[in-house]
Amino acid sequence: MTGRLMLLDTASLYFRAYFGVPDSVRAPDGTPVNAVRGLLDFIDRLVKDHRPDRLVACMDADWRPQWRVDLIPSYKAHRVAEEHESGPDAEEVPDTLAPQVPVIEDVLDAVGIARVGVAGYEADDVIGTFTARADGPVDIVTGDRDLYQLVDDRRGIRVLYPLKGVGTLQLTDEAVLREKYGVGGPGYADLALLRGDPSDGLPGVPGVGEKTAAKLLAEFGDLAGIIAAVDDPKAKLTPTQRKRLTEAAPYLAVAPKVVRVAGDVPLPDVDTALPHAPRDPAGLDALAARWGLGGSLHRLLTTLAQ
């Protein structure tokens, strides 16, 4: 897997497209296709601006894996729309977005863009595993800061974080992380689990916010160093910090596995090369007509052909 690899956190991007493109963008039958067309426009711009050699649309086959919930039951619990005894729980998704997701999948497949989701894992884990296996530079496109943990200057791994659409991206390397958070890539996962994240249902350590977490990591190096300091009476911890970290010990024992992305997902064997022509031209023509994909699809295909 050589050459520049671009990994898309696909759900993150189509959510942004859905909320960024008016729902007046509709198929001939009146069905909203704003997320579909917005995502195609995003991919077109990303390929134009960054010229990856390989591209993978990484998917959430399971947006809330049970193995994470078993460790921290509150993990993403507030986003559950419907519980399922067999298979993943249903995530709360806007009514007019949910029907667009299968269309997105069909269009990506017909274009020939590799699309990978693995049962029991989130897209973050798929991204983490592709990144771990890559021999060349990697651009991770996501609106989820959790993936900052993968940033690694030495290996050429950076996160392209959309600030406005995908035309304005924060090119996140270790210098950006250290300036904003005081940590490098691996340190970001420790910072995140100490601080907590209400959007993911992660409680964090009560009383330890982002600044305190950064100071603790600067002082003790990493989470293991902080935990060791709790048991060291000579360590420079305030009594309050020592008490809070001691009380949070059960959480700190399991949080790393929940917060850190997996790097050992059993990925399928897929062709990740950037396609220069549609894989299924007839199928793509039918999808374009059915959903009124118009200029968005035409622009993407033109860019890929170049």
Structure confidence by residue, pLDDT tens digits, 225-253: 999 999 999 999 999 999 999 999 999 99
pLDDT > 90: what percent of the chain? 89
Q: What's residue 276's pLDDT?
A: 96
Q: What's residue 256's pLDDT?
A: 97
Q: Is the pLDDT of residue 2 over 70?
A: no
Q: What's residue 1's pLDDT?
A: 58
What number is the average pLDDT over the span 38-42? 96
Query: What angle do the packed helices 223-230 and 239-247 form, to 10 degrees?
Result: 110
What number is the average pLDDT over the span 99-104? 97
Who's near 1: CB < 8 A, 6+ residues apart? 54, 130, 133, 134, 135, 136, 272
Residue 31 in contact with residue 291, Cβ under 8 Å? Answer: yes
275: its two tokens: 């396609």
215 CA to centre of own chain: 26
Q: What are phi and psi of 28, to 5 degrees?
A: -55, -30
Strands (E), the chain: 5-9, 54-58, 80-82, 90-91, 114-116, 138-141, 157-164, 168-172
90 pLDDT tier (thresholds 50, 70, 90): confident
Q: Is the pLDDT of residue 89 over 90?
A: no
Q: Is the pLDDT of residue 83 over 90?
A: no
181: its two tokens: 């958070």
What pTM value is reported for the model? Answer: 0.94
pLDDT > 70: what percent of the chain? 99
Give the residue from 233, 191, 189 showing the smallest Cα distance to 212: 191
What number is the average pLDDT over the span 136-143? 97
Q: What is the pLDDT of residues 173-212, one digit of tens each?
A: 999 999 999 999 999 999 999 999 998 999 999 999 999 9
What number is the average pLDDT over the span 115-135? 97
Who's near 120: CB < 8 A, 6+ residues apart? 61, 62, 65, 66, 67
Q: What's residue 152's pLDDT?
A: 97
Q: Which position has the token pair 């989470």?
A: 223
Q: Is the pLDDT of residue 68 over 70?
A: yes
Rg (CA), the chain: 21
Who's near 286: CB < 8 A, 6+ residues apart? none
Q: What is the pLDDT of residues 263-278, one digit of tens each?
A: 999 999 999 999 999 9
Q: What is the mean pLDDT of the chain?
A: 94
- Specify the DSSP element, H or E, that contains 96: none
